[in-house]
Structure 1
Amino acid sequence: MKRYLWPLFLIVSLILTAVFGYGFASAYNDVVNPPKRAVLTPTKEELVKKGGTYVALGDSLTRGVGASNGNSYAAIVGRKLVKKDRVERFQNLAVSGARTEDLLKQLKQKEVRRTLSQAKVISVTIGGNDLFNRGEGVANFNAKKTAATIATAQTNLAKTFKILRKENPDAVIFYVGLYNPFRASENGQAFDAIVQEWNAKSRTLGLKYDIEIIDTFNLVRDVKRDLSSDQFHPNDSTYEDIANAAILAVEKRF
């Protein structure tokens, strides 16, 4: 019986040696030449979120002229959006007295375009200085001249909308329409129809470029009640009303 144990022991030893040798060789090969699947496995990283800024463009309405505390509708919207965690910060690039051609010049600046391309929310107020020309357009009303002014300014507004949407296809963009601050003046009533025509054309452009249009025409009915002491810019209450209308428009986009 013992003579059979020795050959069996020898065979088992050879098998174990072979298995051990194969395992050692495989382990050594994995160290020297690691498997491709281990090298190529990607790590999961959270993508950097685009935007986080509310950028306001335009004229004195965006700057907040007329407000007792300097808070424009844009400043109010900015605070509310930050509080709701919709954006991280607010940047006001508006220039008091700006007209549509001035805004177009501003939009040619590389830094401005870069800022807009990274924005999450963008707002615009423009056109009032074109149309009213500090009241001269109303005091010296000329239908033909006013029509030409509207045509030029609307062309500029269309270019503005196109640039904004091109620079940022994803941002929530809204435009604050015009109201008539000269309703109580001699030719003021005639401007009701002109302002409404402006807003109607702006809404058409808004549909084309996916831009929300905020209607302010009905927010200014009584110039003494709804406007500041200069009877041109909104007072605190009207700025708040414009901001609330804007927030409703923005919120439905999130």
Structure 2
Amino acid sequence: MSARPLYVALGDSLTVGVGSTLFQPNFVKLYQQALEAYCQMPIMKRVFAKNGATTVDLFSYSQQPNVREAIQHAQFITLTGGGNDFLRAGRHWLRTGDFSAVRLASQQSLFYIEQMIQRITALHSEQSAPYMIRILNLYNPLFYIPNTNEWLEDYNRHLEELEQYPFVRVADIYHAFTGNEPQLLSFDHIHPNPIGYRIMADVTASIGFDPFLPA
């Protein structure tokens, strides 16, 4: 592995770190530390994230030249997305009882995440250097509302199908949070608190760093 590998974190507010505190590291920093411990060397980091971003926002964001360039040279890539799609659809469902918005949010989120995976794969197709992509599935901040767990379990099952792509693995944040949401969510009851972010990083690191070998 070359000196100073690059980690690119692409995503929404979970990649931004909303809900963490000033003196506590967020998911990206914690996962960078896990990468450095595994590789036994410093890891450069670039973060491309926006609070409130939907998957279509992330797809558009990933087309920007500076983001494409970073992705092309990254050995390590993480992706968070889909939560805002479901939150918007869920609020619509609560107001109107119209479930079609939830179904559409699931379909669109899966479509745009797969489009991003295909784009990343294409950007790396002309390079022989290894790389890996880690997608974080969705936990349920609205766990107290009937049916919402079923929606996310179905969505997360489909998300796992993206592991058909080389070096793509899905981190199961959903089951790590299930039953412990009050202890892992921040004051806004939507985003993780520092403990929640640490669990996210630990779960993502626990699925390994294939295709990289330890130093």
SS in 2 for 1:93: strand
Which deviates the most, 156-165 or 81-90?
81-90
**Deviation of residue 51 (structure 1)?**
7.0
**Counterpart-to-counterpart distance in 2, 1:103 and 1:206:** 20
Spell out the pairing of 1:153-172 with structure 2 (5 A cutoff).
Answer: 153-169=109-125, 170-172=130-132
Aligned to 1:105: 60
Q: Which has the higher helix share?
A: 1
Which residue number in structure 2 is paired with residue 233 of structure 1?
Answer: 191
Other structure's SS at 2:49 match: coil
Determine if contact 2:4/2:44 at 8 Å carries over to the other structure: no
Q: Is contact 1:162-1:209 (8 Å) kept? A: no
Match for 1:89 among 33, 44, 51?
44
The number of equivalent residue pairs is 204
Q: How far is the alpha carbon of 1:142 from its aligned partner?
A: 2.4
Shift of 1:71: 2.5
Moved runs in structure 1, 4+ residues, more than 4 A? Answer: none
- 2:200 is aligned with 1:242: yes
Structure 2 residue identity aligned to 1:207: Q
Matched, 1:205 2:165: no
Residues 73-118 of structure 1: CA deviation (Å, up to 9, x unaligned): 1110112322443552122111111111111111111111111111
Query: Could you tell me the percent identity over the aligned residues?
Result: 23
Whether contact under 8 Å (2:89, 2:105) holds in the other structure is: no
Structure whose CA Rg is larger:
1
CA distance in 2, matches of 1:214, 1:242: 8
Instruction: Provide the TM-score with structure 1 as the length reference.
Output: 0.74
| Greater RCO, 1 or 2 (C-alpha within 8 Å, sep 6+) | 2
Q: Give the aligned CA root-mean-square deviation in angstroms.
A: 2.1
Query: Matched residue of 1:189: which SS?
Result: coil
Structure 1: 5+ residue runs without aligned partners?
A: 1-47
Measure the CA separation in 1 of the matches of 2:166 and 2:58: 17
* Farther off after superposition, 138-147 or 102-111: 138-147
Amino acid at match of 1:231: H
1:182 paired residue number: 142
Matched, 1:131 2:89: no
Question: For 2:180 and 2:207, how far apart are their aligned partners in 1?
Answer: 25
1:20-67 CA-to-partner distances (Å, cap 9, x unmatched) read xxxxxxxxxxxxxxxxxxxxxxxxxxxx93871111000000111111
For the residues of structure 1 that align with 2:109 and 2:149, how far apart are their CA atoms? Answer: 18
Q: Of 171, 191, 214, which aligns to 2:148?
A: 191
1:190-232, CA deviations, whole angstroms, 9 ceiling, x for partnerless residues?
A: 0101101111111102223541100111222233212111110
